[in-house]
Amino acid sequence: MTTLFDPIQLGAIAAPNRILMAPLTRARATRDHVPTALMVDYYRQRASAGLIISEATGISRQGLGWPYAPGLWSEEQVEAWKPVTAAVHDAGGRIVAQLWHMGRLVHPAVTGEDPVSSSAIAAPGHAHTYEGNKDYPTPRPLEVSEIPQLLETYAHAARNARAAGFDGVQIHAANGYLIDEFLRNGVNQRTDDYGGSPENRAKMTAEELAKDQAAADKLMNAHWSVQDGVLVFDGKGKSLCTAKDYRDFEMYVDWKIKEKGDSGIYLRNNPQVQIWDPKLGNVGSGGLYNNQKNPSKPPVIADNPVGEWNTFRIKMVGEKVWVWLNGVLVVDNVTLENYWDRKQPIFSTGQIELQNHGNTLYFKNVFLREIARNLHV
């Protein structure tokens, strides 16, 4: 049985246990938001966690309104973070930086600038400043033309995090800060491309999408390859998705893993039809692993020995899923739950994804057939 002390692969990070340290604002940096020696000791002492998420760290002076909180926009800050990450690594730990833009929840007394937000609506309550509490001022709505530069500011902070020795980054997008201010209709009163419906408030521009897609394609080509007719994943990089969305479909795919291998197939962007070494959980592949209310485990282990090829036949119609593994029906008319919001049904359309779980994978003979809604198959 899996315990909190068992290792886990978190993307590219191999965590030695499943205990994660949440970000905790400590306010131990300088007034220029430069980390201090006290922070070296603080994070070293907590390096036994499987992964440390740093305290919220500002991406720019404009977005950091918490007195004495650290930043990641200047070279001085990068250099001061290096002893912190080195201390964590020397103690056997892993650490990622939480990147933070506070949006309207800042005060010029700290930032030296007027706050910005999605709309000109002041936040309730008061800001903490070096001179005590002050009422939040009314923020300036960001111009559409400013948003690409804001995204670049996040990217710059992420590059600085890597230079400082962090193992990754987490984007703070909750608690009423800038990203959340664009997602919440009580704050976002815009009428342009970044206002209106939830989809509109969260969407990327065509330019942003093209840029991110190019980066994703480059990463894909570095870690996914075709060798003698077999699609091979080297265990690094990201999962591989279809270019189009699917509604109802039938899929055939052959797959192979190594010992202790772990993967899966996302259906309409939702996890997942499980693939793994049955020895990991004494449960076979093919189950709808992330289900909670509906069946998640196959009734039998139908896997071929690890290192040999297996064949999935997967059918999805509406919310219902059928899975055959090596000719054995292991999932029979089971509802796939919405992992991202269990109060909602599964997405009506979405991509199909071959999941990365940090180990070598092999796929071949991948066939997809769309099923028309008026057909009964």
**Closest of 231, 180, 173 to residue 201, by C-alpha:** 180
Average pLDDT, the chain: 92
Q: In the numeric block, which tokens belong to residue 215? A: 């980066």
Contact 73, 60 (CB under 8 A): yes
pLDDT exceeds 90 at position 225:
yes
pLDDT exceeds 80 at position 170:
yes
Least confident of 179-183, 236-240, 268-272, 335-339: 236-240
Provide mean pLDDT across the span 320-334: 96
Phi–psi pair at 314, nearest 5 degrees = -120, 130
Provide mean pLDDT across the span 3-12: 90
Phi–psi pair at 246, nearest 5 degrees = -125, 150
Q: How many CB atoms lie within 10 A of CB 63?
A: 26
Q: Assign 233 a pLDDT band (cuts: 50, 70, 90).
A: very high
pLDDT exceeds 70 at position 375:
no
> What type of residue is 2?
T
Q: Assign 174 a pLDDT band (cuts: 50, 70, 90).
A: very high
**Closest of 182, 178, 201, 160 to residue 63, by C-alpha:** 178
pLDDT exceeds 70 at position 351:
yes
Provide mean pLDDT across the span 331-344: 90
pLDDT exceeds 80 at position 205:
no
pLDDT tens-digit series, residues 251-306 = 999 999 999 888 999 999 898 999 988 888 789 999 998 899 999 999 999 999 99
Residue partners of 38: CB distance under 8 A and separation at least 6 = 28
Catalytic (active-site) positions: 177
pLDDT for position 377: 47
pLDDT exceeds 70 at position 376:
no
pLDDT exceeds 90 at position 138:
yes
pLDDT for position 374: 60
- What the chain holds in terms of domains, given with CATH numbers, is 8-203 (3.20.20.70), 225-370 (2.60.120.560)
